[in-house]
Amino acid sequence: MGSGRVGAYRWANGQPQIHADFRPDYEPQSDYFKVVNETDARELAASLRRVAAAIDNGRVQVQPNPGPVLLRDDMTQFEHSLISGDLDAGFLQRLAAFVEQGQFAFAWDD
């Protein structure tokens, strides 16, 4: 993937300058909130589509998700399958369609 990652808090404020301790990568050890630039988003989408095609063609086999699962009293079946379901070609295609829209921010919680 290419360069051009910026800290999301600066990006959201229209100030994409990189602060002193920011690392321009996608590793969770640096910042927990980052922005994927447009070039990287296109490359990621293409990769996701290649993996989805390999799953559909039987060249890649996805192991079932044994858990843990997230359950709530008010959770719908769709929400449950979205959060706790297996990774499949359809999910990868939907993720690729989102990523193809261009630059986006993402975060993770450790």
pLDDT in tens, 42-52: 999 999 999 99
pLDDT in tens, 65-90: 776 677 788 888 887 777 777 778 98
Look at 31 and 93; give whichever has higher pLDDT. Answer: 93
| pLDDT classification of 3: cutoffs 50, 70, 90 | very low
Task: Provide the whole-model pTM.
Answer: 0.65
Task: Parse the chain into domains and list their residue ranges.
Answer: 6-107
Q: How many helices (H) and strands (E) does the chain have?
A: 4, 3
Q: How far apart are CA 47 and CA 89, in angstroms?
A: 12
**Residue 92: CB atoms within 10 Å:** 22
